[in-house]
Structure 1
């Protein structure tokens, strides 16, 4: 029996062709694409079809439309990749719990790898990040971005590009989670737990790093569960400035 032939939409074909040109270096990141009229003629399609393809690539993070400046090729980053999940997180509160479960499965192993593989420069960056968190806390500021950077540096120090990329995307989702579901104001517990993680990684102790990260994320998970159960309630025993 002959196999059915799937009809490909014209806009799908244009999207694929443009993506190939970007990936193969015809339009390197930062390069301005030709005007719409010229591209439409090149691909033999209407400008409406071309715009559909451009919108898709913009959503995927391969294009950036600058008001009055044209359309530019770019490299997708974690912020772009996390966009489709941000709506899911906002529309389904249970997704926040799922996200934390995933982190609890992955990040302890990432910390263990970092303890084995971190370079002296990466250890210095982790130490500097921790000191920045301390200074922020001393000034009464939330740890916020530096907190997330600390976890990102651990992922980089693991030496695993897949771990690093996935966790970088999760960091952007955690920004959404932090603002909506973890509104407390105690960085002291975070600092203590981050210090244990840092000390274990610096000591080249993968078992200790794994345990310290697991304990840290368990605290974050408990904080999330309490905050969801008692919106706006004070959390006297649990820190909040976790990412």
Structure 2
């Protein structure tokens, strides 16, 4: 890999931008290893301090993974990577959790409406199977977390829009963080009732009903989060 030097007056942003160009060009794919720090700094024509600054920024963005003693690698653009910049916000800014829930209220009802119009028979069958599993899980007194995530993920897949799918997958990954730190309490019976309404609307190919059912479900999520006691809890909020 050969890199041309960057202009020093544009440091440190230009260093990070130049490395981003390499990642986006596909010259180094996911899992690819960057040259050693000394070599990379020489190719870019910058100091090692400036390079470390740029690498730290890209690591925070989830573009790179720095493995101590092993090197710096390109991260795959998966859900975990995409959620990295937001995880820090969730930890440092409590309001971010509420903002995230509000964003879900904007996006997921429309996704449900599109799912009602676009879902295949096989996808609807998978959603019903998922709901049946939730019922089994709830009757055994277990948490619905994994089944619930799968239910929402299946609806996102029904939309058939790659951008929407990746955004919703990232939101769901962040919801796992909220379950641990913010969304306390567990209402499996209510979750099941609301999921049944969503499934029924999608099966009926009724976009308006699917939109309303999902909006109602997420309104309950927000309300549950607001009412939940802070501190340790035995359960987890539905989402």
TMscore range, shorter length: 0.7 to 0.9
| Greater CA drift, 11-20 or 99-108 | 99-108
SS at match of 1:71: strand
| Greater CA drift, 90-99 or 197-206 | 90-99
Residue 36 of structure 1 is matched in structure 2 by 37
Q: 1:114-169: per-residue Cα shift (whole Å, max 9, x none)?
A: 01011234323323332332332233211113212221221221123332222222
Contact kept in structure 2, 1:32 and 1:70, CA below 8 Å: yes
How has the CA–CA distance of structure 1 residues 205 and 240 changed in structure 2, closer, same or farther, with 3 Å as cutoff? Answer: farther
How has the CA–CA distance of structure 1 residues 8 and 114 changed in structure 2, closer, same or farther, with 3 Å as cutoff? Answer: farther
Q: Do residues 10 (structure 1) and 11 (structure 2) align?
A: yes
How has the CA–CA distance of structure 1 residues 26 and 221 changed in structure 2, closer, same or farther, with 3 Å as cutoff? Answer: same
CA distance in 2, matches of 1:64, 1:90: 20
Residue 179 of structure 2 is matched in structure 1 by 178
Residue 242 of structure 1 is matched in structure 2 by 238
| Greater CA drift, 161-170 or 183-192 | 161-170
How has the CA–CA distance of structure 1 residues 66 and 128 changed in structure 2, closer, same or farther, with 3 Å as cutoff? Answer: farther
Q: Do residues 201 (structure 1) and 212 (structure 2) align?
A: no
Q: CA deviation at 1:21?
A: 1.1
Please tell me the root mean square deviation across aligned C-alpha atoms, in Å. 2.7
TM-score (norm 1): 0.83
How has the CA–CA distance of structure 1 residues 9 and 125 changed in structure 2, closer, same or farther, with 3 Å as cutoff? Answer: farther
Q: CA deviation at 1:87?
A: 3.8
Alignment gaps of 5+ in structure 1: 1-6
TM-score (norm 2): 0.84
CA distance in 2, matches of 1:88, 1:65: 21
| Greater CA drift, 27-36 or 162-171 | 162-171
Q: CA deviation at 1:48?
A: 2.1
Alignment gaps of 5+ in structure 2: 1-7
SS at match of 2:199: helix
| Greater CA drift, 64-73 or 211-220 | 64-73
Q: Do residues 153 (structure 1) and 154 (structure 2) align?
A: yes
SS at match of 2:66: strand
Q: CA deviation at 1:197?
A: 1.0
Contact kept in structure 2, 1:60 and 1:76, CA below 8 Å: no
SS at match of 1:72: strand
